[in-house]
Amino acid sequence: MLPTDVLEAAASELTDWQGSGMSVMEVSHRGKDFVAAAAETESLLREVMGVPQDYRVLFLQGGASGQFDAIPMNLTAVGDKANFLNTGQWSAKAIKAARTQGLDVTVLADEAASNYTTTPAQGSFTVDPTAAYFHYTPNETIGGVEFGYVPDAGGVPIVADLSSTILSRPIDVSKYGVIYAGAQKNMGPSGLCVVVVRNDLVGHARPRTPAVWDYKAMAESDSMLNTPPTFGLYLLGRILAWVKDAGGLPAMGERNHAKAAALYSFIDASEYYTNPVALDSRSWMNVTFLQAKPELDKTFVAQASAAGLTNLAGHRSVGGMRASIYNAMPAEGVQALIDFMADFERRNA
């Protein structure tokens, strides 16, 4: 969900943005008002995330999935080595794309043995110092598995898919070479992908890289080589202002930690619900749970939906239930889910 305040503010100016008599979707993306709004979005992102001076912020299209291919194209030549961790479905997709792009991929740790309910222990793998980059997925959205630490990659650039955890808590951007995230989980509408890349990693794209995914070409054109997703950039700016007003990432982190802790402690105390994820790897954003009677999953989802608690079906590939409690979900929303779960248990256990 997105913050209601932001949606209402956007609705109120949908037909007349900044006195233009038009919506933000109708003005020219080259006009000075929109260019200023896009610059404001970037500067808010830099401020809220604490992006250091020697990083570029790019606003791209093609989603996080596009970056699975764009990262090898920008950072490597065919045959270069890259190291990965496989903690679930999104890392697996990134690995597959890197192989398609001709990289010599080594998977340093694969959590298949736990059915992807764990993250590798800190210090249990060593990044090859000759690798072009090291990739991991800090939060696996489908499995609800999140790293409690930033891996040490020696001097090798760390590339992180933060799609489902960006803006959820403070982050030290300087530890990463590339951060990328589809906007639609915690940052706004779909159609926009944020890439934060250290300057020294810009300018090495393979010759046949599509220009709209070439970090240098996009950096030089302020991400406007082609028409950017104007509404997405505008709304991201509003969401960043909302995060800032709410106390920034430290406040988001506290809120999100408290929300997740409440839900996990309810699940752990219950004899009817379980969460399969290791204690040190539980996601703050995507809380998965199973019930003792899986044949009632459809009933659970339907009754929850009727009670206003929507989108609770687990990903089609894993089943069970999943509560995605992104930044905009208030603590009361989590409490309403807990109350519903307790009631469902009383009626069905």
- Comparing CB distances to ligand PLP, the nearer of 17 and 180 is 180
Q: What are the CA-CA distances from residue 57 to residues 9, 44, 326 (Å)?
A: 25, 11, 22
Give the strand pairing for 286-291 and 321-324.
antiparallel
Q: Which of 17, 90, 213, 284 is catalytic?
A: 90
| Annotation says 128 is catalytic | no
- Comparing CB distances to ligand PLP, the nearer of 90 and 284 is 90
Q: Which of 69, 185, 213, 214 is catalytic?
A: 185
CB of 165 to ligand PLP, least distance (A): 8
- Comparing CB distances to ligand PLP, the nearer of 17 and 176 is 176
- The whole-angstrom separation of Cα 5 and Cα 294 is 37
| Full strand arrangement of the beta sheet holding 178-182 | 55-60, 193-198, 178-182, 158-161, 133-136, 81-86, 104-110
Give 327's DSSP letter. Answer: T
Q: Which residues bind ligand PLP (CB under 6 A)?
A: 63-65, 90, 137, 141, 161, 163-164, 182, 185
CB of 23 to ligand PLP, least distance (A): 24
In sign, the C-alpha dihedral spanning 224, 18, 183, 26 is negative
CB of 143 to ligand PLP, least distance (A): 10
Cβ-contact 83, 91 below 8 angstroms: no
Cβ-contact 213, 222 below 8 angstroms: no
Q: Which of 161, 214, 259, 284 is catalytic?
A: 161
CB of 185 to ligand PLP, least distance (A): 6
59 forms beta bridges with: 194
| Annotation says 161 is catalytic | yes
- Comparing CB distances to ligand PLP, the nearer of 185 and 238 is 185
Catalytic residue ranges: 90, 161, 185
